[in-house]
Amino acid sequence: MAALPAPQAFFLPRCEPAGGQRLALFHAPQAPYRGAVLFLHAFGEEMNKSRRMASLASRALAANGFAVLQIDLMGCGDSSGEIEQASWSAWVDDAVAAAQWLQQRHAGSLWLWGERSGCLLAAEAAPRITGTKHFLFWQPQGSGKLMLQQFLRLKMASQMQRGASKGVTEGLLADLADGRVVEVAGYRLSPALALGLAAASLQQPPAAVGASRLVWLEVTSRVPAALLPASAPLLAQWADAGYEVSSQTVAGPPFWQTVEIEDAPELVLATTEQLLQVDAQGQVQTQTQAQTQTQAQPAEPAQARA
């Protein structure tokens, strides 16, 4: 296979209220074109730990015909602003703007690909994005409140080394409720971001009848491999809402939280295979519908001979 072109790096301008610009990486699709994919990254240090995996998967998808856009949300990476200036609503706006940029250039269905907190962001942004939308979730967390609590416990862990861990999480939550910025693991977290995250959930947007898909992928080192217990009821809720749901576990390290940067190649492979399978099924359905419509058309009357 020929070497893939390097991704195109550019700044996506943003309008008020947040303003500024967002760093974006666009991976051009190799023929044949199969659809567009928007990647929404994880929060905090999980984003940094996952950059290599996101890049590997983006390149693999592009090599198989998908147009992939990665974006650094406000206050993250090389995008405008500091993290303490960011809000959850601004991040939702960023996701919508990035999706619109993709849709203006690439027709067809759009995959919203979230990792960890990015899954929550995808679900919240989706109702504001037009057209058929599919979802690809990497290691999703169903509760933003739980994610926030886990993040705040990093502060408690550092305080434990000083013998002063009691009530740390409660104190941070109280500060946020009072409108104060808190600092955790080097990140200055605003109430607008923290409380917005806490209110987020994997609430499924309305599904397009017979079209919308959810691909749910988890990485595990357990044997035998199994989905997390909290995943089953969430998958059932999406299926009940009309989504065609596919879930899979793959072997690998929890790369989003390991000390060293690690790869999970089976996750990249599963991601590509799942999206290719959905694309193949969609082509079959389109061909079947076209054949049905052709057969249903009345035959033209025979021409009378002169």
- Which of 105-109, 159-163, 170-174, 203-207 shows the lowest mean pLDDT across its residues? 159-163
How confident is the model at residue 201, as a pLDDT?
Answer: 95
SS3 category, 219: strand
Share of the chain above pLDDT 90, in %: 76
Cβ atoms of residues 57 and 271 within 8 Å: yes
Provide the pairing of β-strand 110-115 with 35-40: parallel
Question: pLDDT category, 155, cuts 50, 70, 90?
Answer: confident
How confident is the model at residue 263, as a pLDDT?
Answer: 97
More reliable by pLDDT, 75 or 157:
75
How confident is the model at residue 305, as a pLDDT?
Answer: 46
Q: Is the pLDDT of residue 304 over 60?
A: no
Residue 75 tokens read as 């206050």
Residue 207 tokens read as 């599904």
How confident is the model at residue 160, as a pLDDT?
Answer: 64
What is the signed CA dihedral for 174, 179, 180, 184, rounded to 10 degrees? Answer: 60
How confident is the model at residue 15, as a pLDDT?
Answer: 75
Question: pLDDT category, 135, cuts 50, 70, 90?
Answer: very high
How confident is the model at residue 306, as a pLDDT?
Answer: 40
| Nearest C-alpha neighbor of 227 from the set 237, 217, 236 | 217
Cβ atoms of residues 297 and 83 within 8 Å: no
Average pLDDT score over residue span 278-290: 69
Tens of pLDDT along 26-40?
999 998 999 999 999
Q: Is the pLDDT of residue 209 over 70?
A: no
What pTM was estimated for this model as a whole? 0.90
Residue 130 tokens read as 């037009």
Average pLDDT score over residue span 153-174: 77
Cβ atoms of residues 218 and 139 within 8 Å: yes
CATH numbers and ranges of domains, the chain: 8-142+204-282 (3.40.50.1820), 143-200 (no CATH)
Residue 216 tokens read as 């749910």
Q: Is the pLDDT of residue 190 over 70?
A: yes
Checking 174-183 for CB contacts under 8 A at 24+ apart, the result is: 181/84, 182/152, 182/155, 183/155
